[in-house]
Amino acid sequence: MRGWNDDPFTKKARREDFAARSIYKLEEIDKKERILKGARLILDLGAAPGSWTQYCLKTLSAAHVVAVDLSPLEIPEDPRLTFLHGSIEDVDIVGALGGRKADLVLSDMAPKTSGQAFRDVALSLTLCELAFENAKMHLKPGGGFVVKVFMGEGFETYREMVRKAFTKHSLFRPLSTRKHSREIFITGQGFKG
Ligand SMILES: C[S@@+](CC[C@H](N)C(=O)[O-])C[C@H]1O[C@@H](n2cnc3c(N)ncnc32)[C@H](O)[C@@H]1O
C-alpha cells in the first residue's frame, strides 16, 4: 500500500529541502494570484513545520516573516524571521510586527482532527475566524489574505465575510490537496481597511 512518504509532493518537498508538502499549495496559489508580489512584511499563522515561511523568505529577498505556531518550526533560523511559539490567541503579534501593519496574512492553521467531520469543520472554522480577526487587525489597506477552510457548515457565511473585506477574492483548491480532503483556500486581495 502507498503511504504518505510515497506521495510525489512529499518526495518533491524532501528533494527541494522544504519542511512540508504544503509548500506546493502556496506556490500554486501564488503562481495564479501573484499574492506575494511586493510583500515586505508577512504574518504566517499556523506556520509549523515551516514550508510556507520558507517559500516567502526564498521568493521575497527583502521580506520579513512573523510566524506563529503551537509547535516549533523545523527550518533554519533566519534574521528575516521572527517566530512566536504559542497559540495565536496568546502571543504578542503586535509587538513582533514592531507596530507596523503587514502586507500579507497567511493562515494554513488546522485543528488536530478527530475524524468526526462535523466537529473538525467546526474547529477549523473557529481557527479561520481567528485568522480573519488577525487579518483585520494587522493588515494594511490594500493587503492580501490566504486562509485554509474546511468545506462544510458555515463555509458560505465565512466566505461572504472575506469577500466583503477585500476588493478581490477567490477560491482555490490546489493540485497537491489530497483527494479526500475537505480543504479549500480563500484568497483576498486589496484589503479595504
Ligand atoms: C497544516 S499545518 C501548517 C503547515 C505550514 N503551513 C507549513 O507549510 O509548514 C497546521 C498548523 O496549524 C497550527 N495551529 C493550530 N491551531 C493553532 C493555534 N491556535 N495557534 C497557532 N497555530 C495553530 C498547528 O500547530 C499546525 O502546525
CB 143 within 8 A of CB 103: yes
Global confidence as pTM: 0.96
Q: Ligand 1 mean position to 119 CA, how many Å? A: 18
Residue spans per domain, the chain: 4-191
Query: Residue by residue, what is the 3-state secondary structure of 38-79?
Result: CCCEEEEECCCCCHHHHHHHHHCCCCEEEEEECCCCCCCCCC
Cis peptide before 49 (omega within 30 of 0): yes
What is the model's pLDDT at position 1? 44
Would the pLDDT of 2 be above 90?
A: no
Name the band, by pLDDT with cuts 50, 70 and 90, for residue 5.
Answer: low
What is the model's pLDDT at position 86? 98
Q: What integer best gives the mean pLDDT of the chain?
A: 94
Name the band, by pLDDT with cuts 50, 70 and 90, for residue 115.
Answer: confident
Q: Residue 172 and residue 33: Cα distance in Å, rounded?
A: 10
108 Cβ inside 6 Å of ligand 1: yes
For the domain spanning 4-191, the CATH number is 3.40.50.150
pLDDT in tens, 46-87: 999 999 999 999 999 999 999 999 999 999 999 999 999 999
Can you say whether residue 86 is alpha, beta or left, with left for phi > 0 and alpha for psi between -120 and 50 degrees? left
pLDDT in tens, 165-189: 999 999 999 888 888 888 999 999 9
Has 148 been annotated as catalytic? yes
Q: Which of 70, 71, 147 has most ligand 1 atoms within 8 Å of CB, for mutation? A: 70
